[in-house]
């Protein structure tokens, strides 16, 4: 380079070099956003309605008086949800509470038939055989009067939750039939999953009917319906899978948190059912229209999201594989291969929620 040659312009250097300051700023903003999300998730996972007891265990605390739909008090505000409360709720039942009716004779059965036949669920239940696989399994199942009354109340106060519960319970049982077709407990499992939200009508109407994103504290109040449901199911069914599912279907049990044991089910079976329900619940929400997302996911688009979530550890891999096998009609899990090619379109707004 000669003496009189012009000096290289700094602008050319600026163009050729990466904008490290901008990248660093974006990284900081991303880290802040991740911390905020983590804080919100931690606030939700830490059940605001739990208290530490003298035995060192965390027990769910009942935040307000709980009455059956017919006006009988089951629990008081401040009570702890524990084995004694379940025993007391069972002892307080009267003769009419224990009256049972065959499922096929109930309004719940007719509602199930109508819901599974809806065009919105045709992608999953479009085949008459699939609808019959569920309704045939439940036909002769005895259902007690108190549970039917609470399910009717859920239909009146939160019809979207009622439909979601019946759909996800049915799809979960269809998936389980792949590996346990002759298991006599499938009907009991369906009842447990379908009734898990009967406590929702006890949530504040402003929170239950909100179309906007809930604040963490409001979402914790919303999640208190788990305890309300568990209390009501204790009265209707006593210590059962239904009580356990109600108490844990949104939040996994943390070390030290008390949960009731389930007669007739091993602990690994309970966990498998809860993990599969979580996957199916997300799938059912994505493949159905919502007030904030009128365009539903395609079946393939929803499976893509769940498979991606399983790879990140958000969902149980085996549960996602079981649902994928069912949707693809590939009933051999050993031969199932998950493709990365996308066959279905996913809406631009890729999210789902509670409403």
Domain for residue 157, yes or no? yes
Number of domains in the chain: 1
Domain for residue 225, yes or no? yes
Domain for residue 7, yes or no? no
**Spatial distance between the Cα atoms of 203 and 174, rounded to a whole number of angstroms:** 31
Domain for residue 87, yes or no? yes
244 near 260, Cβ under 8 Å? Answer: yes
* Predicted pLDDT at 352: 33
Percent of the chain scoring above 70 in pLDDT: 74
Domain for residue 255, yes or no? yes
Domain for residue 331, yes or no? no
> Which residue segment(s) compose the domain that 162 sits in?
48-281
pTM, two decimal places:
0.77
For 210-243, write each residue's pLDDT tens digit.
777 778 877 777 878 899 999 999 999 988 999 9
pLDDT-based confidence at residue 152 (cuts at 50, 70, 90): very high
For 283-307, write each residue's pLDDT tens digit.
988 887 776 677 888 888 888 889 8
* Predicted pLDDT at 109: 94
| Burial class of residue 31 in the structure, from the number of CB atoms within 10 Å of its CB (0-12 exposed, 13-18 middle, 19+ buried) | exposed
85 near 234, Cβ under 8 Å? Answer: yes
Domain for residue 16, yes or no? no
Domain for residue 302, yes or no? no
For 26-36, write each residue's pLDDT tens digit.
555 556 555 55
Contacts for 289 with CB less than 8 Å, ≥ 6 apart = 120, 295, 296
């Amino acid at each position: 380079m000669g003496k009189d040659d012009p000096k290289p312009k700094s602008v050319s250097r600026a163009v050729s070099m990466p904008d490290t300051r901008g990248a660093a700023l974006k990284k900081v903003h991303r880290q802040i956003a991740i911390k905020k999300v983590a804080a919100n998730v931690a606030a939700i996972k830490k059940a605001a309605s739990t208290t530490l007891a003298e035995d060192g265990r965390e027990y769910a605390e009942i935040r307000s008086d709980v009455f059956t739909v017919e006006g009988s008090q089951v629990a008081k505000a401040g009570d702890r949800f524990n084995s004694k409360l379940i025993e007391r709720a069972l002892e307080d039942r009267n003769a009419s509470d224990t009256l049972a009716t065959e499922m096929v004779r109930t309004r719940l059965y007719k509602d199930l038939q109508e819901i599974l036949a809806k065009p919105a669920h045709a992608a999953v239940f479009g085949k008459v055989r699939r609808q019959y696989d569920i309704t045939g399994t439940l036909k002769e199942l005895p259902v007690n009067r108190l549970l039917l009354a609470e399910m009717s109340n859920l239909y009146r106060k939160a019809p979207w939750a009622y439909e979601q519960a019946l759909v996800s319970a049915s799809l979960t049982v269809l998936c389980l039939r792949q590996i346990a077709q002759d298991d006599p407990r499938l009907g009991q499992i369906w009842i447990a999953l379908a009734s898990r939200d009967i406590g929702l009508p006890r949530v504040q109407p402003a929170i239950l009917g909100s179309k906007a994103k809930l604040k963490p504290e409001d979402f914790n109040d919303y999640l208190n319906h788990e305890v309300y449901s568990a209390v009501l199911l204790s009265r209707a069914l006593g210590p059962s899978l239904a009580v356990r599912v109600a108490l844990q279907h949104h939040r996994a049990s943390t070390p030290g948190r008390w949960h009731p044991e389930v007669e007739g089910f091993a602990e690994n079976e309970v966990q498998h059912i809860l993990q599969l329900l979580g996957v199916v619940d997300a799938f059912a929400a994505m493949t159905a229209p919502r007030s904030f997302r009128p365009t539903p996911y395609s079946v393939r688009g929803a499976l893509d999201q769940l498979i991606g979530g399983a790879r990140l550890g958000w969902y149980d891999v085996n549960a996602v594989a079981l649902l994928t096998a069912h949707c693809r009609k590939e009933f051999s899990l050993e031969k199932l291969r998950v493709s990365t090619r996308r066959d279905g379109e996913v809406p631009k707004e890729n999210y789902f929620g509670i409403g």
